[in-house]
Amino acid sequence: MPLTKHHAAPILLSCVALLISQALTNQTTAQTAGTSQKSNVETIRFASFNISFYRSEAGQLKRELSDGKSESPKKIAEIIQRIRPDVILLNEFDYDSAGKGIEGFQNNYLAVSQNGNPPIQYRFSFSAAVNTGVDSKLDLDGDGVLGTANDAFGFGKFPGQYGMVVLSKFEIVKPDIRTFRNFLWKDMPTRLVPYKQNKQPFYAPKIMEHFRLSSKSHWDIPIRIQGKTVHFLAAHPTPPVFDGPEDRNGCRNHDEIRFFADYITEGKSDYIYDDRGRYGGLARDELFVLAGDMNADANDGDSTNNAASLLTNNTQINDSTPPVSSGGKYYAETQGGVNIDQKGNAAWDTSDFGDSNVGNLRLDYCLPSANFKVESSGVFWPKPSETGADLIDATDHRLVWLDLRID
């Protein structure tokens, strides 16, 4: 039958309704599964992702990334291509001073379409030496043996294992970068002190004279975006486990988190000095995004003194609506175990560990300063029925992202 004006109006209205319905469906999928769609307003997407790019030997990772054939990096690259952050912190990326690992990952994985997704390129990058694998020449774990991975300033079998990388589409102002790798734990006021069962400090004074706080490093990376400076604060505190009743790693994890909590708070940062000897932290009105695998959940897990709450409850940080996924809740329910009795919202989880003792936790953060408005956010953790579900076995962590307006 030929189409007349009488028929055209209802058909047009039906098409419009269908398009609106599809848009709403796509928006919901973007929020739950974490697709690359951004909100309608002009925003910048920040992300944090522990990608498990650590290997057992120095140089092994850069060799693996040199040909583009490794399956796990392909999956990590596809996740990044799907989410398409403008600025991203990659935790657990083995450091090499020549940057060959970063170069290989960019050229052979991110710049190559993975499973039909558009390639992505980052003009700017930053990485630097970290404390992992750097021999302290001290008996840090108290076992009477020197030179082990536990005696490094940060646990590691070689210098640079479990390092960090920042990739950015916007200019990193490298002359203004501050690193805090050499900050000494003893110089933090009222620091937590691990004690032996005999009530004596676990670390003797001669050890504390040299003990660095950061297990990897703490970085303040200024990025110029639309004429403004955003401080991208990156860290990866030590896990609060793998110790004894003295809780030495729990204490250190707490104070590594506290370091940035103090750094962003005027009146609390005067004691902080960077690797070039400059003191102080950020001014109250500075824009920042604090990112990293903090190895602490504000509601569950075994971190010391609720360490993550130093960030999530911080008045300088906007964590009013934490990023969520559909997979977090799904896997908490289906895997069961300790997940059943956890207090936190499972939709906030960003990691998947053994369900008999640790469970799924919110360990990875991308936290904006309170003077930012969050337009949208998410955690890439699709359910089995959703697109990308076959990618999550590449690492036991999930990418967390948020979209911010730079007014």
Average of pLDDT values for 280-302? 97
Per-residue DSSP letter, 71: H
Tens of pLDDT, residues 166-203: 999 999 999 999 999 999 999 999 999 999 999 999 99
CA–CA separation, 356 vs 173, rounded Å?
45
- What is the average pLDDT value for the chain, to the nearest integer? 92
Residue 329 CB contacts under 8 Å (≥ 6 apart), including other chains: 346, 347
Average of pLDDT values for 121-126? 98
Confidence band (pLDDT; 50, 70, 90) for 40? low
- The sign of the dihedral angle between the CA atoms of 193, 179, 292, 263 is positive
Return the residue matching tokens 């990326």: 93
CA–CA separation, 213 vs 180, rounded Å?
9
What the block records as the tokens of 34 is 């974490």
- The sign of the dihedral angle between the CA atoms of 321, 325, 330, 332 is negative
Q: Which residue has the higher pLDDT, 322 or 5?
A: 322
Confidence band (pLDDT; 50, 70, 90) for 37? low
Contact status, residue 258 vs residue 269, Cβ threshold 8 Å: no
Q: Identify the pLDDT of residue 23.
A: 38
pLDDT at residue 130 above 80?
Answer: yes
Question: Please, what is the angle between helix 5-33 and helix 326-335, to 10°?
Answer: 60
Tens of pLDDT, residues 48-60: 999 999 999 999 9
What the block records as the tokens of 156 is 């590691």
Strands 124-126 vs 374-379: parallel, antiparallel or unpaired:
unpaired
Tens of pLDDT, residues 209-266: 999 999 999 999 999 999 999 999 999 999 999 999 999 999 999 999 999 999 999 9
Tens of pLDDT, residues 325-334: 999 999 999 9
CA–CA separation, 219 vs 231, rounded Å?
9
DSSP secondary structure letters along 305-321: GGTTHHHHT-TTB--SS
Contact status, residue 156 vs residue 213, Cβ threshold 8 Å: no
CA–CA separation, 248 vs 132, rounded Å?
16
The two most distant CA atoms of the chain are separated, in Å, by 93
Q: Identify the pLDDT of residue 407.
A: 84
Q: Identify the pLDDT of residue 404.
A: 98
Task: Tell me the whole-structure pTM to 2 decimals.
Answer: 0.91
pLDDT at residue 7 above 60?
Answer: no
Q: Identify the pLDDT of residue 379.
A: 98
> Per-residue b/e over 170-193, b at no fewer than 16 CB within 10 Å?
bebeeeebbbbbbbebeebeebbe
